[in-house]
Chain A
Amino acid sequence: VQLHESGPGLVKPSETLSLTCTVSGGSVSSFYWSWVRQPPGKEFEWIANIYDSANTYYNPSLKSRVTMSVDTSKNQFSLKLSSVTAADTAVYFCARARTNSLQYFMDVWGKGTTVIVSS
């Protein structure tokens, strides 16, 4: 399985950040899928998970602004983050999350895409 993130690299403050992750070599209908970001010089922040194409889990700190969804016809999943500010500037990664006896871990990652929030 390979993952590839795509989307605009520059977003204006207060607008909505939209990213897509294309899944190749496997079906988006299986597994959990995740979004994680890494702000410059800071630690990783988990954003959201989705499984079974409809069940979503969001980081409470971002929940009011985040929407994650799956498009099975395109074998993609996506992230929308509304009302962005400079604090949302980061490298955004999509990843596959697997489970093993209730343990979760991200075993396949995309290369990441840089998003800068600036006017």
Chain B
Amino acid sequence: DIQMTQSPSSLSASIGDRVTITCRASQSISSFLNWYQQKPGKAPKLLIYAASSLQSGVPSRFSGSGSGTDFTLTISSLQPEDFAKYYCQQTYTTWTFGQGTKVEIK
């Protein structure tokens, strides 16, 4: 299976900060990469698909980039509702997920 490694595992940030989360695949996955947001006790919410396509209804402060093995999720200006855990997922082969990045209030 392709291993997905996210960094950092957690971060503390303030409202209005620019936040960047990285996801690295153990082998090339082209652009077969999705990003999800999960809040405690809730189902995941799709944010970005195909590495850089914004899911309908998701605020434009979220963006994704990358291809091959290295990918980035960026939140341009952190809002109170963005404090959550974020996961990447590859669908190039047997679907696998990263371990998650928890975004906490500073």
Contacts and interface: CB of A to CB of B under 8 A. Distances in A.
Nearest to A42: B99
Contact of A93 (B32, B43, B89, B95): B43
B71 interface: no
Contacts of B55: 105, 107
A61 B49 CA distance: 25
Nearest to B32: A103
Contacts of B53: 100
Contact of A107 (B32, B42, B46, B99): B46
Contacts, number: 53
Interface string B18-60: 0000000000000110101000001111100110010100000
Interface string A69-82: 00000000000000
A100 B49 contact: yes
Interface-centre pick from B49, B99, B100 (highest chain A CB count, 10 A)? B49
B62 interface: no
B86 interface: no
Interface residues of B, number: 24
22 contacts: A43-B87, A43-B100, A44-B87, A46-B94, A46-B95, A46-B96, A59-B94, A59-B95, A101-B50, A103-B32, A103-B49, A103-B50, A103-B91, A104-B91, A105-B55, A105-B89, A105-B91, A106-B44, A106-B46, A107-B46, A109-B44, A110-B43
Given A59-B94, A100-B50, A105-B91, 9 more contacts: A46-B96, A60-B94, A100-B49, A100-B53, A103-B32, A104-B91, A107-B46, A111-B42, A111-B43
Given A103-B32, A103-B50, A105-B50, A112 B89 contact: no
Interface of B: 1, 31-32, 34, 36, 42-46, 49-50, 53, 55, 87, 89, 91, 94-100
Given A104-B91, A107-B55, A109-B43, A44 B49 contact: no
B49 A43 contact: no
